[in-house]
Structure 1
Amino acid sequence: MASRIKRRWRPRSLLQQVLTAFLLVMLPIGVLIHLAGQSFSQLSELADVSAREAVDETRRARQLTNLSTDMERSARQYAVLDDQSLLEIYGERRARYSDLLNEHATFMGNTPLIQSLRQQLAVLETLPAPGEESLSAQLSEFSRFTSSTEALAEATRRQVDARIDEIRDQAGRVTTRLWQATLALVSFSLMLILFFTWRIIRPIRQLEQRILGIGGSGDSEDARPIQGPLELVNLEERLEWLSARLKELEEQKQQFLRHMSHELKTPLASIREGSGLLADGVAGEMSQRQREIVMLIDDSGQELQTLIEQLLDYNLLQQNRRLNVTRFDVASVIHEVLSKHRLALQQKGMVVEERRAPLYWQADRARTARILDNLISNAIAYGADEGRLYISASADQHHLTLDVANSGQAINERDRDHLFEPFYQGSSLRKGPLKGSGIGLSVAAESARAQHGTLSLVEDTINDCEVCFELVLPWIVEEPSQDTPSLPRAARKKPALART
């Protein structure tokens, strides 16, 4: 798998993928910075050129206005003084006006006003000699010439304003394009970020699901192979190896438990059979002291057999998680389980309060009985001598609640969080010659979880009992497509207790 990934064009390692993602995400941002720089440079250059042109054209229009006034003044002085030097000054000013007008025409264009000024300037090219009647007529043309020049200055100002408005509009268009490019490139960068984030997060989540499948009951055999960075692909191979190794160890553990349980039960059966024959007097009459020793051996063998059966139950729960759902009477199950422990309860001197009224429920009867059996065994082992054992059952439309409480020493606070862990031994002292295995409550809790229920130690005391366990089981339908049926009339009755 790893060799197949290596042959592909995409980045092989996680570092390469992160660096590639960084470069690709930064690329649109770099393009955006370049476009912004070009736009600002273009606007700056356009504004600079336009400002210079506006200043030049305004200054030229002012000069033309001044020159028209100076030309009129020189012409009138010449008509009064008849001085040739004034005529030369007039000619210089007229020539200067003609040059400036030609320069101004490149900015304004060959407008009718420019053409009119050129015609008027041609008429004013030469001045008649003083005393001639045509001189006064020509001098009267200067008022129209000055007015036309002022009109040219006004047109120049309007042209400059129009150019400024055009620059402002162009700046707005550039800004709009820049914002559009920003939106597009930032969106593209965001898409790249989301894509590469998905590319990195997806195999990590697949690995997480694979780990959860290895650690829990999930089956990861049909999981899709991880496609991603080479480090994560290699990690998947390590997880597959670890999963296979864990399964191998689990099989070895189950095999060990089966063999050990069988090997223990075989000699134990012989011991119990021999102690039973001795107690029955087959080998001859025994003294009272000998009979007490034989009974001690038999009782210890019985407790050892109970521990082995709990170990077998734990092993069976780990292997088989399927439910055998049936409809049964909860009160009957309680009575059957109590019958198994009747002698132990009598020896303990415990007073039992149990439910006698029928209460029908639908769940796994064997697992429910196993839970009750472990809870009652726990109450006998740790409960007070000549104490009380309280078992009640009640139900609503969807849940069955079983309470098993006993009098005696309360469970230590530091033991409560680990109470349902396999093989955990609490600080409370077990009453009896044999120490417990620490898996009774674990088997009970596992049986409750297998039926989608809960088993918990409740804080509130019931009937002055210091230790109380509460089992909550749902109504389990046989077919997943069926709706949860209504409970029978008997299931809705209040719990009825009988003292034995």
Structure 2
Amino acid sequence: MFARVEAGRQDSGGVSFSRLRRDPQSFLKLILLGFALVGLPLIIALINSAFSIDRLADQSRKAVYQAAQIAHSSRALADEIATMERAVRQTHILGDPSLLDNYFRAHVKFEVMAASLSELSLHVEQKDLLMQLQAAEALIFEKVSAVRQSPAELSDLIGNFALLRDSARTFFSVGYTLIEREVDEMQDMAGYARFTVGWQLLALIPFAILLAFFFSVRIARPIRQIDEAIRNMGQGELYKAIRVDGPQDLVYFGERLDWMRRRLLKLEEQKTRFLQHVSHELKTPLTAMREGADLLVEGVAGELTEEQQRIARILHSNSMQLQRRIEDLLSYSALQAEKAALVRHEADLTQILESVLHDQNLIIMSKGLRIDLSCPTLILDCDEQKIKVIVDNLLSNAVKFSPPGGCIRIWTSKTTGMAQLDIVDAGLGVDESDREKVFEPFYQGRRVLDSHVRGTGLGLSIAREYALAHGGDIELVPQVGLGAHFRVTIPVCDPEVHS
């Protein structure tokens, strides 16, 4: 077996190599690849959103820190300017040069604050105002240093501090204006980031859904093919080759299923040949037995006593039943070999029924059964012999399961171009668990009567195959009360001729 598998692999080497380029080698890899490709766009969108939020947060942090620094330093500059102005005023009023020490200390702090501000990432407008403020303060410092020993001359410099305060306020207000502008820019950036994330989600979510649908189809298709192949084999459809597309392990699984199909087909053919051979081998001696029983019943070999005639009739009846069973096996073999071609011609359903009733009259009389027949004339375009087999199998089934003295009802009708034949026996009916299997070949239901000659389980199966071949069907009609109700529908005219 392994040699055959390796040979099959070598024969399909070119096909397998081409499939390797398109499909993953395993079902697990296909699932993992599908999850990866479906999740990748969303992961990219999440990473991009995280980077955008991080950039926005960093810029917001820097802006807040710089705004706090500018506000603090601006207030400190204003305080130092006020301190310097107060020191100059006190020195001028009191005439004490030692009071200018407060001015010089405030001047040093002013320079430190201005230097720290200049190190910040200021806008050009802020830098220009800061440089102008530093230059104005340096000019006042030079003048104050020049007249520090003459407090009376400081009166001309007091007015310069008003300009210096105005410059400081202008720097402060410009700083807040620029901060507001930066806040607006951050809001715009946040809006743009929000728009970008929304656009990415709107674009990527449908794309991810499409990818998920694509891989779902890719994953479901080989599973569906395997399921269909198993269902076909379960229903006996063994002539259709099995092919599975997809990952290499599922392709190989499909090849093994096809090997099983071919094996089952070979076994089915062997079984059919066996049935044909055995049936033919049994038919020849059985024919001799039946003819011998006929001769005994007719008295050709001499007059028989009443007991001997009863035994001869039993032999004749049972040989006829065995012949029907063998004919069922032959008919089933012909169906399996697709040799059951129809030979259509016009036939009267009433005459077919009367012929079948005449053939089974002996067993009907022996069981004391009553036949309630209602059959108007119905002309069918059919294979008369096969319709007779259908009726014979259904009637035999009804006679077999009806108790002695029971009544079998038979009637026909015509509806919308279809002829209906209904046969209802007087037995116990069909068990609920057997309803779906009653037409399967060789199936024996739970309610099987004890008899020396058991049925083959082929009668209903052959009858249904013949009905389907005519374009009709046989169904088991739900019955209220006792009895099994079978209904046959056959087209009145050949649909191929009238289409």
Into which bin does the TM-score normalised by the smaller protein fall? 0.7 to 0.9
Instruction: Give the aligned partner of residue 72 of structure 1.
Output: 85
SS of the residue corresponding to residue 384 of structure 1 reads: coil
Say if 1:381 and 1:431, in contact at 8 Å, map to a contact too: no
Q: Which amino acid aligns with 2:410?
A: I
Q: How does 1:218-237 map to 2 (within 5 A)?
A: 218=237, 221=240, 225-237=243-255
Instruction: Give the aligned partner of residue 152 of structure 1.
Output: 171
Give yes or no for the alignment of 1:243 onto 2:261.
yes
Q: How does 1:402-481 map to 2 (within 5 A)?
A: 402-411=421-430, 416=435, 418-426=437-445, 428=447, 430=449, 434-450=453-469, 451=471, 453-461=473-481, 466-472=483-489, 478-479=495-496
Instruction: Give the aligned partner of residue 106 of structure 2.
Output: 93
Identify if the C-alpha distance between structure 1 residues 155 and 367 changes in structure 2 by more than 3 Å, giving closer, same or farther: farther
Say if 2:74 and 2:172, in contact at 8 Å, map to a contact too: yes
Q: Deviations over 1:396-430 (max 9, x none)?
A: 33654432123345555665555434334445565
C-alpha displacement of 1:373: 1.7
Give yes or no for the alignment of 1:381 onto 2:400.
yes
Q: Which amino acid aligns with 1:469?
A: F
C-alpha displacement of 1:59: 0.5
Identify if the C-alpha distance between structure 1 residues 191 and 414 changes in structure 2 by more than 3 Å, giving closer, same or farther: closer
Q: Which amino acid aligns with 2:460?
A: L
Say if 1:456 and 1:471, in contact at 8 Å, map to a contact too: no
- Percent of residue pairs identical: 31
Q: Which amino acid aligns with 1:303?
A: Q
Give the Cα separation in 2 of the matches to 1:187 and 1:356. Answer: 66
C-alpha displacement of 1:30: 5.4
C-alpha displacement of 1:231: 2.5
Identify if the C-alpha distance between structure 1 residues 328 and 159 changes in structure 2 by more than 3 Å, giving closer, same or farther: farther
SS of the residue corresponding to residue 403 of structure 2 reads: coil
Q: How does 1:272-287 map to 2 (within 5 A)?
A: 272-287=290-305
Q: Deviations over 1:420-464 (max 9, x none)?
A: 343344455658763333322333344445545241042225xxx
C-alpha displacement of 1:100: 3.7
**Match 2:71 to one of 55, 58, 70:** 58
C-alpha displacement of 1:52: 1.8
Instruction: Give the aligned partner of residue 332 of structure 2.
Output: 314
Structure 1 window deviating more from structure 2 (360-369 vs 234-243): it is 360-369
Say if 1:214 and 1:220, in contact at 8 Å, map to a contact too: no
Q: Deviations over 1:158-191 (max 9, x none)?
A: 2223223323332343344445555656666555
C-alpha displacement of 1:60: 0.8
Q: Which amino acid aligns with 1:388?
A: C
**Match 1:107 to one of 102, 122, 126:** 122
Structure 2 spans left out of the alignment, 5+ residues: 1-7
Aligned-pair Cα RMSD in Å: 3.7
Q: If each structure's helix is expressed as a fraction of its own residues, which one has the higher value?
A: 2
Say if 2:402 and 2:427, in contact at 8 Å, map to a contact too: yes
C-alpha displacement of 1:193: 4.4
Q: Which amino acid aligns with 1:146?
A: R
Instruction: Give the aligned partner of residue 4 of structure 2.
Output: none
Say if 1:334 and 1:354, in contact at 8 Å, map to a contact too: no
Say if 1:78 and 1:84, in contact at 8 Å, map to a contact too: yes
C-alpha displacement of 1:63: 0.9
Q: Give me the TM-score of the superposition, normalised by structure 2.
A: 0.80
Give the Cα separation in 1 of the matches to 2:284 and 2:399. Answer: 27
**Match 2:416 to one of 397, 400, 416:** 397
Give the number of equivalent residue pairs.
Answer: 476
C-alpha displacement of 1:263: 1.2
Q: Which amino acid aligns with 1:67?
A: E
Say if 2:476 and 2:484, in contact at 8 Å, map to a contact too: no
Q: Give me the TM-score of the superposition, normalised by structure 1.
A: 0.80
Q: Deviations over 1:45-68 (max 9, x none)?
A: 323322221111111111121122
Give the Cα separation in 1 of the matches to 2:386 and 2:475. Answer: 13
Give the Cα separation in 2 of the matches to 1:190 and 1:426. Answer: 51
Give the Cα separation in 2 of the matches to 1:25 and 1:470. Answer: 55
C-alpha displacement of 1:80: 0.8
Say if 1:349 and 1:386, in contact at 8 Å, map to a contact too: yes
**Match 1:263 to one of 278, 281, 288:** 281
SS of the residue corresponding to residue 124 of structure 1 reads: helix
Give the Cα separation in 1 of the matches to 2:192 and 2:476. Answer: 72
Give the Cα separation in 1 of the matches to 2:415 and 2:41. Answer: 63
Structure 1 spans left out of the alignment, 5+ residues: 483-500
Give yes or no for the alignment of 1:300 onto 2:318.
yes
SS of the residue corresponding to residue 488 of structure 2 reads: strand
Identify if the C-alpha distance between structure 1 residues 88 and 415 changes in structure 2 by more than 3 Å, giving closer, same or farther: closer
Q: Which amino acid aligns with 1:305?
A: Q
Q: Which amino acid aligns with 2:92?
A: A
Give the Cα separation in 2 of the matches to 1:109 and 1:345. Answer: 120
Give the Cα separation in 2 of the matches to 1:96 and 1:257. Answer: 118
Give the Cα separation in 2 of the matches to 1:480 and 1:54. Answer: 96
Instruction: Give the aligned partner of residue 220 of structure 2.
Output: 201
